Structure 1
């Protein structure tokens, strides 16, 4: 035997111990290989590997406006990688990447020697890019040091198998698509978009070096958090590129002097462009995915890497959000000043108590068995919290009850614009701040629409044969069979003597006339007309219908108004144009839902458009011309509900329908005055400020400079009448303007 030939017992026993250790090590490695320490993925599993991909949401003008994901990852192909990105990665992470077969044994031996014998903890881990990829694909489950050797050997085995399956280019592609860059961002494409707002293919040398430099410590070298540390790390990458012959010295020195210039764009679900719109898209996608599942197709909107192409115009939306913020901040200030120290959120104890008791937290605590006093004690305990207003977030000492009262006073809004020919949504604002006010006033809220319903009444009247130059008295009437309901008009003592043409009555939004037009037309006829125009909400079959006491969703109202500029055809607003999979294969396209049969005749539509143009030119929406100096072809209608609870404005242009609502979520609080809360003051400016921005951008000239078709001469003749006729002398002589006429409302025609 070989051991007997060794005369020195020390050498003999030393060799035996060495061989025993070697055998034990081999046995240990074999036990890992066969899966005793946990299953190792085989080549088939590695070749079929698929990673979770974020779904992307695009605007109609091809701007990425949001993502849905668990992990923010957008994989791209090897062709998207600029060569300097690969050079930077290999230089700093694995210099011999193109020479080894998954495990760099010389480098591993060097690290072991320095770490074990020289106690040099900065010597690195010796892992190749392929081993790091193995760790990315199959993260370590147990962080204990005792398992480190097992994990390392597993990764070496997986790395060798990866090298057998994939080419070097494919391994780099997999690596750069799976590696973490911190901030819940995975893959080079997502990191490039987040930190520099550009695609991977567009990265410069210094930008690529910055991102590659992060890989050693995604937090410590994060350029957003530690810009100087990140810059030093980037320069180390550049130096490594120079050392490996990828950069000339002059270029390296020049790039090293540059600052780290970020264009950071985080796809925070609560922030960014059009968050309410993106949430509505998400809801519709979930419904779509459920239908697909029933058909045998499995798509997950958070992991399947879908691409959702929407109807939204990103520039229009940006202008709309800017206009909303500018107006609502100013309006909020005026609103609070109008109440002074007598504001209901300050003085009305009943209202404050009701707000607290209606809160989710209150109901939850009561459901958990707490008494009224215990709940109130809990909800009035002060602690540090962030409250927001139009000046930004503030850290304050406040209670849950304080927070509820604080947010109770905020005016909110909903607005949308759409293409009246198709229903394609161009802008969508569901509220003033998605982070703090999740409720969407476009798709979820049903509010009384006020005078914006009057055009539907007048449309029904014209369709039933009432000539547009029919005159109606503005005198107030008390309807005996309607509990003496007495609709009135605002601030015109002489109206008892006035008789309005239909155009003038609608443009000036005369309430008493609207009710009389409804009476003459018939409530069932008006309800049927509303249905034809796409209104599906249940409406009250009462005379107050003429004044907009019916509650309708904003997007529903927008679709109905589209009929006035779409040849009588209402539309259904839609948000999604197409959905593709991760390889850009179309899964489904979406077409406009347009009613084939017009809701009214072409003549009625032309007359109504003239009525609504008069509203802008000389009626309740004349501020568009006088104050905001807009010269566009426009029509529209203002609306204000009882006690100034809701302010509305609907604008029509040849290419756009825009609807705005402003009010409070708490229905018990309204504006302090009609001057402040009327639609022309509270809602109209949002459209006006938006249109001013569109007018400045010549890209929108086809929309903003579009003209309404000229009406036929025959129709103009039908409208050729005095807007107002005053009662004759003798009629005025025997009429008491202060006496309200009393009669029954005619319920049949």
Structure 2
């Protein structure tokens, strides 16, 4: 035994006398000293301060602000990183099993670092200089990376970052339980499409909370962690399914899934229900932008418990809004359905001679208004140089109702493309409070950022007439007063002669009651009613309705030449079903901090006093019911089959530039506008451009959808108040009256007079 031992010692000495062995030993020792020295220097903070135990105990992560509808359903977020934390109890077991099996099979055994795997990475990185060495990352190490990121160093970057992460990982393991580590990890890990945290990813890709994820859905999301762009299920479905199946196999290998279940789950086709919360996409983007604008002002007035200003993008606020998610979806679907067809009819009506063709004055004027043209001129470019620059082609994504396309186009080509599109604005509110239930600011926020609800002011056309009639009734005009259809030329207003659509066929000897005149939107009578009541009294009445726009002191006021914001118009019309009190449409009900504490509340702004009396309101409501039942909006009944209690008013402006429809129901007031953003472009004909054809169908299709949804019966089945006996009696007259023979004999067809 002693002889064998001596021989072994002699061999060892000989080996270490070999110069190569000596050299390798020195190298190994040097490497070891280097690693130890590097580790100590990192630990001491020479490569950046490491988080202390105290800091790790109170990890503060940036959280997205959530936007909820009035029923608590998520409709959008504001974020830098799309992160929405949840608790461990919300994670289904198969999600945790899939994660551990795929990312860290020894998660429950190690202390945050898998030393064998980590050493493999060190050797590859140090000796082989393999920058893609990877591997060795436990869930805790990944969490450390997610929380504090990585820095680039001149040398040994991967090694330094791995050492830093290992120190942080061990500290995390000392502070938190395994459940808490999994919770922190799943709330911070990045998923595809700039999404951080499992709850955000679950909502985005499957439109459900994490607690409701199926096994396959959970495996799909876990599979993306290897490379969230490469395995993005929205972009690469087959690749994502293959990766999901790898996760399922790992679950079988580690006993988390029965082997006989593997084939069943592996053969399932991946079905996404993608809901983007990107600000340009998803439901109600114009509404979300409007809320953001309000929040930026509100948050400036609020302070955190620490005295800091709230950060909309980082502090995890919860904003409760008035919007109704499902109702908004119905409204958007209705808008898209109608505008697709209307756009086709609009373009066809112009034929070859369109306002947006190469030689049109409209196009030439629009080119001169382009910001890029103004910039070129300021830079001193000649007209020829500017023209050349504007005709340079490049690949651009273009909006289209049949689908967006990427085309090689110039600035001028793009301008011609977008000049032709009709746009829209639609708002539905609860008339009792002003709470906004639907909000459509345009046809597609990605391409048309201008908001036609909050920003736009357009001529309102005949939708202004009810305000004139309201002023008249309020000031004592009998509802059964008759006015002649005949045209009148007002000499003191440049011989202005208002006329009616189809006036060539009208009998100037026919007289209409107020109800018949309003329901058929007769221009000549609207001006005469304005003359009867007076412009000052009418303006005063409109101001009581909450409309702040300066109104013109001229008879054309009766025909809606004023440009009024859609929100103000809707709030004014709410008075007809809200005890004569206008409201101010509002979007936000309350704001909570991330802990659920209410930091701001918002109450409805309803006028304290009536804008007009109950009698006037009931008369006007009966008149606007006639608009729907027998007047300009009868297609609601005849074409769309709506049998609900509805009152309304159509509107069309001069040269068919704007189409409007106002719909009043007992519990919902909706106004829709349709037109072109370029004021020089109108509808080719009244048949296409009139409010009954351009704007009314959006509401009609929207309400058809509400009628089919039992959840909205309280709205769709609601009934108007019964008018008083006085109102019924005062409206009980023949709608028309023809002049007698003598009066017809001496009555001039076109009378000239001054507007009093």
Displacement of 1:184: 0.6
Query: What TM-score, normalized to structure 1?
Result: 0.94
Which residue of structure 1 lines up, in the alignment, with residue 92 of structure 2?
A: 82
User: Is the CA contact 1:355–1:405 (under 8 Å) kept in the aligned structure 2?
Assistant: no
Q: Find the partner of 2:196 among 186, 195, 205.
A: 186
Deviation of residue 716 (structure 1)? 0.8
Is 1:535 matched with 2:547?
yes
Matched, 1:695 2:707: yes
Question: Which of 216, 230, 234 in structure 2 is aligned with 1:220?
Answer: 230
Note the alpha carbon deviations across 1:183-231, whole angstroms, 9 max, x for none. 2111111111222222111122222222222212222333333333333
Whether the 8 Å contact between 1:102 and 1:128 is mirrored in structure 2 is yes
- Cα displacement string for residues 572-600 of structure 1 (whole angstroms, at most 9, x for unaligned residues): 11111222122222222221100010100
1:506 counterpart = 2:527: no
Whole-Å separation in 2 of the counterparts to 1:118 and 1:374: 56
Matched, 1:99 2:106: no
Counterpart position of 1:655: 667
Query: Residue in 1 aligned with 2:36?
Result: 26
- Measured after TM superposition, the shift of residue 54 of structure 1 is 1.3
Quick check: 1:288 aligned with 2:295? no
Q: Which residues of 2 match residues 581-600 of structure 1 at below 5 A?
A: 581-600=593-612
Say whether residues 1:441 and 2:448 are aligned partners: no
Per-residue deviation, residues 697-717 of structure 1 (Å, max 9, x unmatched): 222111111111111222211
Q: What is the alpha-carbon distance in structure 2 between the residues aligned to residue 17 and residue 546 of structure 1?
A: 96
- Rate the CA distance shift 1:168–1:686 in 2: closer, same or farther, 3 A: same
Contact map agreement 1:633 1:708 (CA 8 A) in 2: yes
Stretch moving more, 714-723 or 589-598: 714-723
Note closer, same or farther for the CA distance 1:193–1:730 as it changes in structure 2 (3 Å cut): same
Given the superposition, is the C-alpha separation of residues 458 and 375 from structure 1 closer, same or farther in structure 2, using an over 3 Å criterion?
same
Question: 1:299-698 counterparts in 2 under 5 A?
Answer: 299-346=310-357, 348-492=359-503, 493-698=505-710
Distance change in 2, residues 1:156/1:487 (3 Å): same
Deviates more, 1:229-238 or 1:484-493: 229-238
- Whether the 8 Å contact between 1:420 and 1:562 is mirrored in structure 2 is yes
Task: Give the Cα–Cα distance (whole angstroms) in 2 for the partners of residues 17 and 596 of structure 1.
Answer: 88
Answer with 140-149 or 289-298: which moved more: 289-298
| Compared CA separation, residues 368 and 579, structure 1 to 2 (3 A) | farther
1:269 CA drift (Å): 2.0
Aligned CA distance change for structure 1 residues 224 and 669 (closer, same or farther; 3 Å): closer
CA change 1:122–1:232 in 2 (3 A) is farther
Q: Per-residue displacement from partner, 1:226-245 (whole Å, max 9, x unpaired)?
A: 33333333233223223323
Distance in 1 of aligned mates of 2:263 and 2:544: 72
Unaligned runs of 5+ in 1: 1-5
Shift of 1:110: 5.9
Normalised TM-score (structure 2):
0.93
Distance apart, 1:117 and its partner CA: 9.7
- The equivalent residue for 1:263 is 273
Structure 2 residue aligned with 1:3: none
CA gap of 1:210–1:726, structure 2 versus 1, over 3 A, is same
Structure 2 gap ranges (5+): 1-11
Q: Note closer, same or farther for the CA distance 1:119–1:257 as it changes in structure 2 (3 Å cut).
A: farther
Decide whether aligned partners of structure 1 residues 383 and 127 sit closer, same or farther in structure 2, where only a CA change above 3 A counts: closer
SS at structure 2 position matched to 1:342: coil
**2:63 equivalent to 1:53:** yes
Of the three residues 735, 743, 747, the one matched with 1:723 is: 735
Q: Are 2:52 and 1:42 equivalent residues in the alignment?
A: yes
How far apart are the structure 2 equivalents of 1:675 and 1:236? 61
**Counterpart-to-counterpart distance in 2, 1:643 and 1:394:** 32
- Establish whether residue 246 from structure 1 lines up as the match of residue 265 from structure 2: no
Query: What SS does structure 2 have at the residue aligned with 1:328?
Result: helix
Residues 519-566 of structure 1, C-alpha deviations (whole Å, 9 max, x = no match)? 111111101100111111111111111111111011111100000000
Distance 1:261 1:618, change over 3 A: closer
Contact 2:122/2:159, CA 8 A, preserved across alignment = no
Aligned partners of 1:636, 1:50: CA distance in 2, in Å? 53
Query: Aligned residue pairs: how many?
Result: 739
Conserved? CA contact 2:151–2:161, under 8 Å:
no
- Larger mean Cα displacement after TM superposition, 100-109 or 62-71: 100-109
Q: 2:17 aligns with which of 10, 13, 16?
A: 10
Change over 3 Å in CA distance of 1:513–1:212 after alignment to 2: same
Q: What SS is found at the alignment partner of 1:224?
A: coil
Partner of 1:707: 719
Which whole-Å CA distance do the structure 1 matches of 2:725 and 2:516 have between them?
20
Quickly say closer, same or farther: Cα 1:118–1:646, change in 2 above 3 A: closer
Provide Cα deviations, 1:403-423, integer angstroms capped at 9, x if missing partner.
112111111111111111111
For residues 121 and 479 of structure 1, what CA distance do their matches in structure 2 show?
86
**Match of 2:492, SS?**
helix
- Paired residue secondary structure (2:632): coil
Deviates more, 1:172-181 or 1:110-119: 110-119
Contact 2:117 2:135 in 1 (8 A): no
Of 243, 252, 263, the match for 1:233: 243
